[in-house]
Structure 1
Amino acid sequence: MTSPAETGRELQRLRLLHALTCQKYGDLLAAARASVTAAETGAPDPLLPLRDELSVQPFTLPPSGTARQTVAREFGPAPVPGHGQTGRSAA
């Protein structure tokens, strides 16, 4: 059984973790919105805000030009609309 002091410390740790997660999510969301706006306005490098934000996150990006191969390897080929995949299961 944990003491009230231990429970309080764990709760404080979890609150801090939650706050940091929310901040990182907000930063990524803002960068994604900036990239969409840049693409809509014809900016020469619309992904710059997103790449910049991702570069400070604790995970690494794949080398430039390898994203398509990585996605296909991890998740399989993208479905092609109108080729027998309706999104419904057979009954």
Structure 2
Amino acid sequence: HQPYYKNKLTGMYELPWVRVHAMTEYVDSPGILAQYPDTKVTYNLVPSFLEQLTDYHRNETADVHTDFARRDWPTNTDGSVAG
């Protein structure tokens, strides 16, 4: 299952799990599985996951965590965050 994390009012994803899964498990799995050719797996790619993944692929959305990380933060001369 993959819950729908997009906030319909803001267009932002409230949680980063689609992005996190897409950049970790789904990227790493083929290489790992290639080491075990007799292992059979099934991926259940539900419509809600594919829709959200497509949003990220098209750069049509972001999640609040990515938005927060991309912000410019004022820094001190030593590089630490001012505040």
TM-score by length of 2: 0.30
| Greater gyration radius | 1
Bigger share in helix: 1
